Structure 1
Amino acid sequence: MINALAFVDGGVAVTELERVPPGVDPSVPSSARVYDYLLGGKDNLAVDRAFAERLLAVAPDARLAARANRDFLIRAVRFMARLGIRQFIELGTGIPTFPSVHETAHAIAPETTVVYVDYDPVVRLHAEVLLSSGKNVTSVQADVRRPRDIIEDPEVTRLIDFSEPVGLLMVGVLHFVTDEEDPAGIIAEFADRMAAGSHLAISHAMAESAPEARAQLRTAAADSPIHSVLRSHDEVLALFNRFELLDPGLVPVQNWRNDDGLPLFPDNEPLRIRIDGAVGRLERPETGGSR
């Protein structure tokens, strides 16, 4: 479907002719497509670019934060793969970006199986194109807030053996899940099914971000369906209650096992939008764990 999209952003009328997949509302921004734009991708719509530019206007290091978050994901996958994890589930995949999870894992162990999960139909379309030449990889359109639907999906059970360790990736996802939607309960449902030795990676936007950055994020999202819940260090730590936190613990994503020591921001200043990340290991599944 081709839409002539007209909308107003910051008092400026924007009209753009663009191809919109069926089932996608071109007037509503998507967190996955905004993230794609921040990473320099092209798989986004005018409404996503307008939201991202509004965000960058008030929080100019949002692009650096997005890149640091993506780099954390890739380092976490490499870390798990080198520990012997041979199956991964990535929740809230977003638009496929190079290097992908399966490319990263397959570089270490080609037999690794990977399931991508996202609610956005645009993500599903792009994932299908990406995965057309991939082995041991599939994509599922599902809502992270309904974990049982994911766990029992035939495409998931075709590739994932829950009696063996799994790498569960929840990178940049849980800050879009409200307290009422119970992020700890979501993790518990997966933990109930996963074998001992499974690993969980989480990155999360933090309440410890600079006060002006928190205010800027609220301003940018005021008229948008994209809202995030900034949680404190202790609140994010509590999400790992079934997992043993591995070194270096819950730290800013740019510092997590960044062995190359690559500078990520000008003059080595910390990002005002703080995103912390960690990886934990499931020692002993407990059926009917804490919810």
Structure 2
Amino acid sequence: MNKLPPAIFIMGPTASGKTAAAMHLLESGLPVELISVDSALVFRDMDVGTAKPTREELQRAPHHLIDIIDPTEVYSAAQFRSDARALMDDITARGKIPVLVGGTMLYFNTLEQGIHDLPEADAALRTSLHAEALAIGWPKMHEKLAALDPITAARLSPNDSQRIERAIEICILAGRPMSAILAEPAQDTLAYNLLKIALLPSDRAVLHQRIEARYDAMLAGGLIDEVNMLREKYALNLDLPSMRCVGYRQTWEYLDDEIDLKTSREKGIAATRQLAKRQMTWLRSMEQLQTIDCSGTQMSAEALKLVRTFLP
């Protein structure tokens, strides 16, 4: 019998219904507390474009690690792991079960598998890499990464500036490919008995329809006004992680008259679909998953059934 304390992961691509499934667990009377695993929901004042749970939803089902930093700040996977582990230990000590819900697969992976010994960021090198990218463009930087680390380059989009820059930085500082480091055993894995639930669509067209409908709802709900407010309130630029979030960069470009609203919408929906594809690729590489079809109408009930079977 597994004597480790229980914890539950609820994972899935964007628009798969993760929040609804997690809230259903809580409202069913199970002794659970929710921890958000989302690199966008950590930012204050970014509500519409991140599809953040509403104030009413958060009152019904509080989530840890939402609204914890300003959009000018940076929140790493290592910091998430430290915060999440402290919360999990506290929740467990109080006799409850941590439920970690979200779509940032890097956070889930780092939490479960532990930390690899990657070099810390180097400000001078990043400045140099950024200047090079401005001169030649991110697709060319992607080609540079492919020469240094073809395995990492193969899983990154040529325009994924943040991850390309970090991967090149690691290759230079460590003197070897990031993929080689990540292939080694990580330090300090998670000491919990995990139930990992993946919400995946049997019909990807259904997910694409949800993504489009949700993006249109964001536009109708004030996404443009939100980005305007953020630009007035904070000293932001498009290189910050907050403004790399899907929807925000495309809206920024519209506000700067670089593209029209129709193009901004189309680019935002396309970027969201690409994000969902990356999330599903991550999920399909994970082991010991319990998969639920998020295209169906009984998803939350099926998740609850899995959890009840899992718990002693």
Normalised by the shorter chain, which TM-score bucket?
A: 0.3 to 0.5
TM-score, normalised to structure 2, is 0.33
Q: Specify which structure has the higher proportion of strand.
A: 1
The higher radius of gyration belongs to: 2
Q: Specify which structure has the higher proportion of helix.
A: 2
TM-score, normalised to structure 1, is 0.34
